[in-house]
Structure 1
Amino acid sequence: MLPTVLVLIHLQPESQATVSAAFNVITALDPSALDDALTRHADEIRVVLTNGTVGIDASSIARLPKLELIGALGAGYENVDRDAARARGIVVVNGAGTNDDCVADHAFALLLGAVRQIPALDRACRDGVWRDDLPFQPNFSGKKLGVIGLGNIGKKVAKRALGFDIEIGYHNRRPNPDVAYTYFDSVLALAEWADYLVLATPGGAGTKHLINAETLAALGSHGYVVNVARGSVVDTAALADALERGVIAGAGLDVYEGEPAPPALLIESKRVVLTPHVGGRSPEAVAASVQLFVDNATRHFAGTPVLTPV
């Protein structure tokens, strides 16, 4: 008999088919459906499939006495209550590595779009505005890129930047001895040095509003910031003010505070490029993450170590 999984996130038909081949699936995409599933199927559910944004809280975990495994698609797992899971011996896994290339690609799309003002130029062209009536945009290449969070995604962003003759600096909690890039021991120092900041750091309390008014002022009027990490890393109000006053030149955000509602303070700004948290979404990335979840579950129920524990 197949184990039962409670799915808390929307799955495309292909992903649904992959999961359904390995599990008996119960889907709950809103609080009412979740409460119903926890009430009616608590003694059946052995696995939960979620993501970092939706997560699963301690109260829901407490209502699932047979729960053994929680899987988060993608790299994020910040809203999974790992303390509650750990207290029960519940294994938590994620999709580490499955969407790294996709996120790094998207970070560059946002950065190029912001620096070269691609969305604004697209609109102007459609409105019949010729180039002589538009301001010049700066070169993209030959600048300095600061990466905040030089993990797998951050390294891929840095690798892509090298093709544009861009100098790389980074900030982590500690230096990485395996890279030759310049290490900065504070976000502020990195911002003062950089022309571009790309945020690829984990979310959570430790990085909340890591990018604030002081950091943006240090980045300066020719600087650009791109966030493909978590919305909480950037102080939205400070960013909106910095964009409006020209404290920085522009921004690209795939994530923002208050998701899924659009960031009201930013949507009228012509200096920011916005996308709705799609940086890690591609057919290839999602398929790989779903398959990794199934592989992790298969190993767990076979009594062998999972591939990507968190």
Structure 2
Amino acid sequence: MKLLISRPLPEAVLARARARFDCTLRETTQPMRAEELRGALRDYDLVLPTLGDAFSAEVFADVPEPRARLLANFGVGYNHIDAVAARAAGVAVTNTPGAVTDATADTALTLILMAARRAGEGERLVRAGTWTGWHPTQMLGLHVTGKTLGVIGMGRIGQAIAARCHHGFGMEVVFYNRSPKTPDLPARQLASVAEVMAAADIVVVAVPGGAETHHLIGAEAFAAMQPHAVFVNIARGDVVDEAALIAALQAGQLGAAGLDVYEFEPAVPEALIGMENVVLLPHLGTAALEVREAMGHMALDNLIACAEGAPLPNPV
């Protein structure tokens, strides 16, 4: 079967794919262009896409009888794929849950600590050669241990973040989730996003992307935050109204922010770049070789199952 892999992947994953399929690998790291998306559906049996490969309803409408049987997404988030349109066209969609949980949670902790303790600002100070030495009131940040963590979205990743913060830093945990959850640690579920934003010293967003969560965090949510609080997003960029975040930071409605994702990435607003109290990472959430290999092998498990007519391990 003909397989299109949309972006370079770890060599171990590519070797396994080539041993099993007639593979075409796009060598560029950029998302597929419009004509490539349509060609993928028309000319290949299977496709392994990833973030930014925008299989929209319009793309499916232009290929009413696709050859492709499966889009095996490389990543847990699949808001770049219109799963409803895919299903209507007879194309299955899978993702890679589980493989990304710990790495993404670790990145959330990185952002929490960097933003709370002003680590990015401090490193810039040292690299610029303007640090004049230690003193008792130098760069005072937010002490993390014992604070209250607010988690928006208590799925696998949200619970992994909460466990790290509770067990590692003695944090009290409050959370918002659309459905009732009973995490395996002390945590209180609150009734709204705003209640969590108001109660927490540190807020982490860990909901899936998509139409249901677009701009879930906006001006009203930021207005509820405490002025010393830290806001972290490791979910999807468009879950946050970026303009509202910038306005809230400029108004002092929160103390700092740590971002690994952006509403229009890779574009990052100059306003955020210019703020010393904002930590900006280039979507590093799962950027570890063993994690990316695990994601690739999970995607291949779905592709092989589809080729063999077996149940898909990770349908969305």
Asked whether the two chains share a fold, i.e. TM above 0.5, the reply is yes
The residue that corresponds to 1:21 in the other structure is: 19
Q: Shift of the alpha carbon at 1:254?
A: 0.2
- RMSD (Å) for aligned C-alpha atoms: 2.1
SS of alignment partner, residue 219 of structure 1? coil
C-alpha distance 231-33 of structure 1, shift in aligned 2 (>3 A): closer
Residue 97 of structure 1 aligns to a residue whose secondary structure is coil
Of 266, 272, 280, 2:286 maps to 280
Could you report, residue by residue, the CA deviation over 1:12-45 in whole angstroms, capped at 9, with x for unpaired residues? 4443333323222224556886626855x76641
In structure 1, C-alpha distance between the alignment counterparts of 2:36 and 2:244, rounded to whole Å: 41
Alignment of 1:214-293 (within 5 A): 214-293=220-299
Distance in 1, matches of 2:14 and 2:254, equals 43
Matched letter for residue 293 of structure 2? A
1:93 aligns with 2:94: yes
Unaligned stretches of 5+ in structure 1? none
Letter in 1 for 2:117: R
Q: Which residue, out of 126, 140, 144, partners 1:140?
A: 144
Matched position secondary structure for 1:251: strand
- Secondary structure of the 1:266 match is helix
Give, in whole Å, the separation in 1 of the partners of 2:32 and 2:161: 40
Distance 1:70 1:49 in 2: 6
Report how many aligned residue pairs link the two structures: 307
Note if contact 1:209-1:234 (Cα within 8 Å) is conserved in structure 2: yes
The 1:44–1:164 alpha-carbon spacing in structure 2 relative to 1, beyond 3 Å, is: same
Whole-angstrom distance in 2 between the partners of 1:135 and 1:80: 44
The answer to whether the 8 A contact 1:114-1:251 is kept is: yes
For residues 207-239 of structure 1, what are the alpha-carbon distances to aligned partners after superposition, in whole Å with 9 as ceiling and x for unaligned? 222222221121121111100001111111121
Q: How does 1:164-243 map to 2 (within 5 A)?
A: 164-179=169-184, 180-243=186-249
Q: TM-score, normalised by structure 1?
A: 0.92
Aligned-partner SS, 1:141: coil
Shift of 1:271: 0.7
* Structure 2 partner of 1:131: 134
State the percentage of identical aligned residues. 36
Residue pair 2:38, 2:59 contacting (<8 A) in 1 also? yes
Report deviation, 1:247. Answer: 1.4
Runs of 4+ aligned structure 1 residues displaced above 4 Å come to: 28-34, 36-39, 41-44
Mapped to 2, the partners of 1:217 and 1:201 lie a distance apart of 20
Change (3 A) 1:43 1:168: closer
TM-score using structure 2 length: 0.90
2:157 counterpart SS class = helix
Contact 2:148 2:201 survives alignment (8 Å): yes
- Report the Cα distance in structure 1 between the residues aligned to 2:214 and 2:68, rounded to whole angstroms: 31
Residue matched to 2:46: 47
Moved more, 213-222 or 54-63: 54-63
* 3-state DSSP of counterpart to 1:147: strand
Shift of 1:206: 1.7
SS at match of 2:270: coil
Deviations 1:134-186 (A, max 9, x none): 33222111000011010000010001001100001110112213544100110
Distance 1:44 1:216, change over 3 A: closer
**Counterparts in 2 of 1:74-113, with a 5 A limit?**
74-113=75-114
Is the deviation greater in 112-121 or in 254-263?
Answer: 254-263
Q: Which amino acid aligns with 1:241?
A: A
**Separation in 2, partners of 1:124, 1:12:** 36
